[in-house]
Structure 1
Amino acid sequence: MSAGDTDAPAQLPEQAEGYRRELLAHCYRMLGSVHEAEDLVQETYLRAWRSYGGFEGRSSLRTWLHRIATTACLTALEGRSRRPLPTGLGAPASDPDQPIAENHEVPWLSPVPDTLLEADPAGVVTSRESVRLAFVAALQHLPPRQRAVLVLREVLQWRAAEVAEAMGMTVAGVNSALQRARAQLREAAPTLDGVVEPTDTRQRELLDAWVAAFEAYDIDRIVAVFTKDTVWEMPPFPQWYQGAADVGALIARQCPAQGPGDMRLVPVRANAAPGFAMYMRDPVDGTHKRFAVQVLTLTDAGVAHTAMFFDDELFAAFGLPPVLPSGPR
């Protein structure tokens, strides 16, 4: 604590803590990383605590906290590269017969567990589309200030005048930035609104079939769960694949599993979508160890998109152990 902090109030009002989850969602949309978003939420509360003595109540506490969070995110984004998925790099779909190699130089987009975004009192986080992986990936194509304008206007539903005041812009500047952001978003993700979710019954059928196929390591059954033009990507590998046959070939040739029982799947929810934490059997000690987190996009026809994240730290974010307990399921 610096000497300048000694006159700050001991704590923010109790209700400030109630906005933590929606602030996390806001920072995640801006940054594309759950780990960085959590850090920026902590930074937001620290800045709010330090400056609460100057809060005059001209806006709601919620709006004031979001203003601080937006400023903190924009500062964090200065000079940084965007966080893409492999499909956002501009390269064509890869050949499953070619070797794959990780690229840790790219600051990849990561998923956010739904458990971190639930129970939002203002109802903002429960707007499912605003945390969809495809939407957050598309946001990363926008310059940071355009990204902030679009999120504040279209997700948080702020008036143009509120955004202008928060970001030191004119109302005309906000409207212009929003127009450019919308156009760029449509260019980056032209099919963003084209996915129609299956019924709950069909979704359950697809997810059950997915688990059964992977845990049996049955390539034909895995391929059958995909849509014909399914997309598969797996950061930090920059390659991505399209088409059920190519994805099946990739899994058959590149997956370290050797047979039934090598993979175990634990259901998770991420980015308002179903997914699984995948554990792979260790050939030495036989235990199932953390391997990857899958986030799925489902349609009536099957799994249309799979994002498979190879990031061990995600397991802790989802509250999952690094090694599954042995014994019956």
Structure 2
Amino acid sequence: MAAPHAEFDAAVEPWRRELVGYCYRLLGAWDDAEDAVQETYVRAWRYWDTFEHRSSVRTWLHRIATRVAFTAMEGRQRRALPSGLGNSDGFLPWSAWVQPYADDRDDLRLALVAGLQTLTPSQRAVLVLRDVFAFPAPEVAELLDVSIGAVKSTLQRARARLAREAPRPDDVVEPQDPIARRQLDAYVKAFETADVGLLTAVLRADASLELLPGRRWFDGVAQCVPVLTDAVGAPGDWRMEPVVANGQPAARVWLHGEPMGLAVLDSRADGIASITVFGEPGLVGRFAQPLVE
């Protein structure tokens, strides 16, 4: 007899947010993560009667989610940001890009999520399970059907590669920090008032600009400023609302009154290190929760 929905829901629902975050880190896309978690819960319900609690519900769900995510990765190219693909003209479909995620956790920063996509699927899973969710090595080994030694060696390789691909800066400021708020305010006012000088004043000399879904990106303030100057247009063309994305200050954006997408800032103590603009109108609705004061 099937287990009552109330019993099942009480056991599995507390882990939904963690599972979505887990699958997002593995797959690099919010949509894919939610689809993977939905499939995880379908499978969990199907086998709930035979789940004998030899492991915790949390471990069991992550085991299912890992299998679902690994299947989703088969035959797909890794998601990336333009800076990870090389500078060239043209556009790629949204399935090629890392998607932003509405969460305030610092370990979800865009550069880190993009860096995770350069790892093998098993390296991603081991690193996230051990370093983000603090699963003990024996549980990870059981979850992935590998030896404890394999978990330890895979983790070592994953950490080393991620440190090369997405080194973690020590001068990052949180979205709620006054420094980050001033930088985001300068970004918003620069576009809403067509005064690009407000923005260039808070850009670092090595700031970069990535404009998705195009493949071109701009490295250094000398390259970024002409692009930003062309973009600001006339006062009133743009409207922006502060939000948080991937633990970073961000703004959902309207152009001429129509949804345009999302801009995400990499805020550092000495200025904005990068701006990533996702030109996808649907993101305006998905990031509807304003930045909390």
For normalisation by structure 2, the TM-score amounts to 0.91
2:201 is paired with a residue whose SS is helix
- The question of whether the paired residues in 2 share the 8 Å contact of 1:8 and 1:51 is answered with no
Structure 2 Cα separation of the partners of residues 106 and 317 of structure 1: 17
How far apart are 1:222 and its partner, in Å? Answer: 2.1
Among 100, 105, 110, the alignment partner of 2:99 is: 110
How far apart are 1:130 and its partner, in Å? Answer: 2.2
How far apart are 1:105 and its partner, in Å? Answer: 7.6
Structure 2 unmatched ranges of 5 or more: none
Structure 2 Cα separation of the partners of residues 203 and 296 of structure 1: 9
- The question of whether the paired residues in 1 share the 8 Å contact of 2:181 and 2:249 is answered with no
How far apart are 1:31 and its partner, in Å? Answer: 0.6
Pick which of 100-109 and 293-302 moved more.
100-109
1:196 maps to which residue? 172
Among 169, 172, 175, the alignment partner of 2:149 is: 172
**1:105–1:278 distance in 2 versus 1, CA, 3 Å:** closer
- The Cα offsets for residues 207-236 of structure 1, whole Å up to 9 and x where unpaired, read as 222221111112222211211111111221
What RMSD, in angstroms, separates the aligned Cα atoms of the two structures?
A: 1.9
1:14 maps to which residue? 10
Q: Quick check: which has more Rg, 1 or 2? A: 1
Q: Partner letter of residue 98 of structure 2?
A: L
How far apart are 1:13 and its partner, in Å? Answer: 4.1
Among 55, 62, 67, the alignment partner of 1:66 is: 62
Among 260, 265, 271, the alignment partner of 2:235 is: 260
**1:146–1:105 distance in 2 versus 1, CA, 3 Å:** same
Identity of aligned residues (%): 42
1:231 maps to which residue? 208
1:187 maps to which residue? 164
Task: Choose between structure 1 and 2: higher helix proportion.
Answer: 2
The count of corresponding residues between Structure 1 and Structure 2 is 286
Q: Partner letter of residue 238 of structure 1?
A: R
- The question of whether the paired residues in 2 share the 8 Å contact of 1:268 and 1:274 is answered with yes
Among 57, 78, 81, the alignment partner of 1:82 is: 78
Structure 2 Cα separation of the partners of residues 309 and 196 of structure 1: 21
Structure 1 Cα separation of the partners of residues 280 and 94 of structure 2: 14
2:113 maps to which residue? 136
Structure 2 Cα separation of the partners of residues 148 and 142 of structure 1: 9
Structure 1 Cα separation of the partners of residues 109 and 94 of structure 2: 25
1:267 is paired with a residue whose SS is strand
**1:266–1:30 distance in 2 versus 1, CA, 3 Å:** same
**1:252–1:101 distance in 2 versus 1, CA, 3 Å:** farther
1:41 maps to which residue? 37
How far apart are 1:10 and its partner, in Å? Answer: 4.1
Confirm whether residue 294 of structure 1 aligns to residue 288 of structure 2: no
For normalisation by structure 1, the TM-score amounts to 0.82
